[in-house]
Structure 1
């Protein structure tokens, strides 16, 4: 049941997101669109309540409860950033707003960008760990909560691996290709021009 509910929540997330953006920019009903987008957290609340009721009914804590905690944590950590990113592109495509700025690709600007994304993963790990600790307290039986404890370790393992990847961008920053090297893409050319304008502006 928990796995099925996770799938339903994931599908519901994208359906509400598409409906909210469609109402906001295609139907020109921003209040309705905002209302639909604000319903997104209700999916996580439903999943949280269902997981708690499942444990209360005497279900054996297993990987499905751990997966539910990680899913909720991921949504809390990365959901807002995902919605903001898609909203910016929808506004550009359907409402004439400026094109959202692309993520930096080189140097310390890229390292800072990766650090911000890792912060979202850190929030996800903290949220999932808090939910799992609450579940362990709720079960109140160390012999039945070993699986939940293992999922806490998994959450921080993912956060640690992502943190090392983000750190690598700071320790070994990617360098922009030299002008005239013959391998410059149109996007790289635009970034080079923008960087040149910024340097001259200073």
Structure 2
């Protein structure tokens, strides 16, 4: 596994560590400002990953799938980060602090709307990630060294399309309560 792949893993671990530290600070230690500080570190982790990838490529590195995944990770983290924090927040309150309502499951058209909202978020993450890839393509200015980025964009475009198709299918065949 190459250096960039390890950086992606470290960024993902770091993301969840600062979220957990933020929740513990907020709800166990009752230090709301410290909790906000930790939660605010999530975009800093994304920025560090982008800097590492950019420096690696500008120093002559050839783009790998790990570089592509880093750009995808950044887009997804920026767009879904707030909802992932909200998801963790609700579960921490209910399962750890024994407060609030049990996080519910969605069914029917409510689930379909939620899924479609997620597809639009995925599209925004794609636009951000594709923008980062395009920026890196322009900075490196050597299509041979960044050819994997074009393959990534093709595959990710297909995945976004499939995501929308699945979400739309829930309006036709709503998810039933189990």
Q: TM-score, normalised by structure 2?
A: 0.91
Q: Does 1:85 align with 2:87?
A: yes
Write the mapping of 1:156-167 to structure 2, written as runs, cut at 5 A: 156-167=157-168
Asked whether the 8 Å contact 1:12–1:43 carries over to 2, the reply is yes
| Residue 38 of structure 1: how far off its partner (Å) | 0.5
Aligned residues: 176
CA distance in 2, matches of 1:168, 1:44: 33
Say which structure, 1 or 2, has more relative contact order (CA 8 Å, 6+ apart): 2
Q: Does 1:15 align with 2:17?
A: yes
CA distance in 1, matches of 2:19, 2:118: 21
Note closer, same or farther for the CA distance 1:50–1:93 as it changes in structure 2 (3 Å cut). Answer: same
Q: Does 1:149 align with 2:164?
A: no
| Residue 92 of structure 1: how far off its partner (Å) | 3.5
CA distance in 1, matches of 2:167, 2:135: 30
Note closer, same or farther for the CA distance 1:143–1:96 as it changes in structure 2 (3 Å cut). Answer: closer
Q: Does 1:30 align with 2:18?
A: no
Runs of 4+ residues over 4 Å off in structure 1: 93-97
Asked whether the 8 Å contact 1:16–1:36 carries over to 2, the reply is yes
Q: TM-score, normalised by structure 1?
A: 0.80
1:37-86 deviations in Å (ceiling 9; x for gaps)? 10111110000000010011011122221111111112122221110111
Unaligned runs of 5+ in 2: none
Unaligned runs of 5+ in 1: 177-184, 186-202
1:69-124 deviations in Å (ceiling 9; x for gaps)? 11111212222111011112223445565315523212x22210111111221121
Q: RMSD over aligned Cα, in angstroms?
A: 1.7
Larger radius of gyration: 1
